[in-house]
Amino acid sequence: MERLKEHTRGINELLARYGIKFGIYKNGTFHEQLFPFDPIPRIIPKYEWDILEKGLIQRGDALNAFLRDIYGERKIVKDGVVPEDFIFASSGYLPPCQGILPPGGIYSHISGIDLVEGKDGEWYVLEVNLRIPSGASYPLIARDLTRRASSETFRVNHVVDNRQYPRLLREVMDYANVGGISVILTPGRYNSAYFEHSFLAERTGCVLAMNQDLFVENNRVYYRDMEGNRQKVGAIYRRLSDEYLDPMTFLPESLIGVPGLMSAYRAGNVAILNAPGNGVADDKGIYYFVPKMVRYYLDQEPILKNAPTYLPFYEEDRKYVLDNLEKLVVKDVAEAGGYGVIFGNKLTREELANMRHIIETESRRFIAQEVIDFRDLPILDTDGVTEVERKADLRAFVLSGERTVAWPSGLTRFSRNPDSFIVNSSQGGGFKDTWVLSR
């Protein structure tokens, strides 16, 4: 471990040289910055991972069953388990996807599940990302660099090898593929996760394509290379949001989509990973119902816990939230990346009164959660020597194809602010490797 600490600066310099960065837009301007790496890994014992793995797979299967149902027969709505108005008021529900069954029946091929470990030793799921979850590339390349810096560290510690992620991803793409090449569709250089798009394309052996490289003819998608040759496309791992995918179906002003793509998808001539319309299942409000989905679809008790959550949509929950707002965290269901998160104990009396009014008038817009005192992890301070404690979460990755698997690794993100619970890269956080032990 000490060898890894000694190489911290060198590893971060290599990450910068290789372009391992992320980008964010502020006031309409694109800013690119490093995602700081910390060498002290998060360590998950085997017995603990065995439980996490089962719980992650269970949650991935339940969410895929929910999506099949919502865009199909809607039994969960008819049986009164999830309110109809609640689902169809979600901005993530896409009517053009109704009645489309993706190849293999899989909607969420890559699920990013964000968890925290409470100081009580329990793991809690904070939210899920079923549209275009990012971040798998960072622990992959960090492990590669740390292995080079100190190969002995990985010989004496029984750490599960995490290099199988590209193979697992390619297996999922091959399972969904309806005949043709597989491509990774990127919006281009100025996307916040462009490094990851190119990295995964290289590691999986897929073609990295932009929208101008693809075209639709007779409800089939083709890739045109630099020499003008065309190849049929059987699977597209898309790395752009639903609304930009096809200007003929969604936003007509989209300049990064592929015209006619949804027609080819509806005809069953191409697979799209993850499926359009998944946002209805990762709506922060729908999160409240996931334990019920596990019982409803799988006839099992949930293995992983939700953070204690309240829906102001329900009168009883709304009353509790309004009465206890100063000790809860409120989340706007339409926001992501750490935005739209409001801690009641940080608000003034006037701000609390204003927040109560907004919750009363826009109750569907929010969820509220108890503040989990989640575990701090050691990181190296800015001097590169002193160890300090900071809040950290874990983004685990579940891949669903012929079978559902949980990748024995993940992206551990931490806050660099000692007073903050927000760990997102867009909010200035860093990342570290996640070691799952084999024994």
* pLDDT tens profile 47-90: 999 999 999 999 999 999 999 999 999 999 999 999 988 888 88
- Candidates 436, 124, 131; CA nearest to 302 is 124
pLDDT digits (tens, 9 = 90+) for 156-210: 889 999 999 999 999 999 999 999 999 999 999 888 788 899 999 999 999 999 9
- pTM (predicted TM-score): 0.92
Residue for token digits 């622990």?
139
Residue 44, sorted as left (phi over 0), alpha (psi -120 to 50) or beta, turns out to be: beta
pLDDT at 278 over 80: yes
> What's the Cα-to-Cα distance from 434 to each of 11, 107, 159, 328, rounded to whole Å?
16, 27, 9, 29
Greater pLDDT, 193 or 133: 133
Distance (Å, whole) CA 323 – CA 326: 8
Mean pLDDT check: name the lowest of 29-38, 48-57, 231-240, 301-310: 29-38
**Residue 341: per-residue pLDDT:** 87
**Residue 149: per-residue pLDDT:** 80
Indicate the helix (H) or strand (E) that contains 129: strand 123-129
- Candidates 245, 235, 31; CA nearest to 131 is 245
Exposed (0-12), middle (13-18) or buried (19+): which is 99, by Cβ within 10 Å?
exposed
pLDDT at 287 over 80: yes
> Sorting pLDDT into bands at 50, 70 and 90, what band is 251?
very high
- Take residue 356 and report the two structure tokens written for it: 């109560």
Exposure string of 249-269, with b = 16+ CB inside 10 Å and e = fewer, is bbeeebebbbbbbbbbbeeeb
pLDDT at 372 over 90: no
Q: Residue range 288-305: average pLDDT?
A: 97
- Candidates 180, 208, 176; CA nearest to 108 is 176
**Residue 156: per-residue pLDDT:** 87
pLDDT at 128 over 70: yes
SS3 label, residue 369:
strand
- Candidates 62, 59, 86, 71; CA nearest to 283 is 86
pLDDT digits (tens, 9 = 90+) for 414-424: 987 776 666 66
pLDDT at 437 over 60: yes
Q: Which are the contacts of 162, defined by CB distance < 8 A and separation ≥ 6?
A: 139, 140, 143, 407, 408, 409, 434, 436
Distance (Å, whole) CA 277 – CA 280: 6
> Sorting pLDDT into bands at 50, 70 and 90, what band is 397?
very high
Q: Residue range 234-254: average pLDDT?
A: 97
**Residue 195: per-residue pLDDT:** 87
SS3 label, residue 314:
coil
Q: Residue range 249-263: average pLDDT?
A: 97
